[in-house]
Amino acid sequence: MRINKYLALHLSTSRRKADELILLNKIKINGKIAQLGEEVLTNDKVSYDSKIIKSSITFKYFKFYKPKGYVCSNKSQGNSKIIYDIIEDQSLKYNGRLDKNSEGLMLLSNDGDWLNDTIHPSKGLTKKYIVSVSEKIFLEKFNKEVYDNGEVLKIFDIRESNKLTYEVSLKTGKNREIRRIFDSNNIKINNLKRISIGTFKLGNLKIGELKEIYS
């Protein structure tokens, strides 16, 4: 959560007034003078005029390995399974969905500001995927940028990682972007797995596992 929102909630003030307090160097996070736009995480100590502000809000931040076959939604999707069948905690939101037939890393939190600041497409973070296909891709002929349904779709980088397996990097986050680019190149995707979002890695998470990032 951004510091001005945190102060607005805990000091019963406006975000504009909170920004003024920050500019006057009256606010500290963990003993250091706070800066405009700075994030407050779960165990951070925030003080106003050297007095600790006691928080009644507990923020939670998680990595989640979304399984293949689950829809990113908190509402029933007919006969389809949804990720909240696994997560259960409806207070956790996400930014950067994966389609039903894809798997891999998602970030979840009850801190909407953190989600937007961390993985919103406007931030230009690199997201990496492992893509398995049925036939070899000749990279020199592969079109990384295509025009589809009124949108420019672009793969930032693609490289072979194993036989019929490629590591694909995106800077954008348009709907089904990788699948649409591969379709345009007449290449069938057998499996698509996101392995990283910026500095956050899927690592050794097990399928369906939810792991706290900050604790």
> Which is the catalytic residue, given 99, 117, 148, 183?
99
Which letter, b or e, does each residue of 118-133 get, where b requires 16 or more Cβ atoms within 10 Å of its Cβ? bbeeeeebebbbbbbb
Tell me how far apart the alpha carbons of residues 59 and 61 are, in angstroms, rounded to a whole number.
Answer: 7
Query: Which residues contact residue 124 at a Cβ distance below 8 angstroms, ignoring those fewer than 6 apart?
Result: 171
Residue 99 bears catalytic tag: yes
Beta-strand (E) ranges in 36-91?
46-48, 51-52, 61-66, 70-71, 81-82
Angle at 42 between CA 38 and CA 46, to 5 degrees: 55
The residues annotated with a catalytic role in the active site are 99
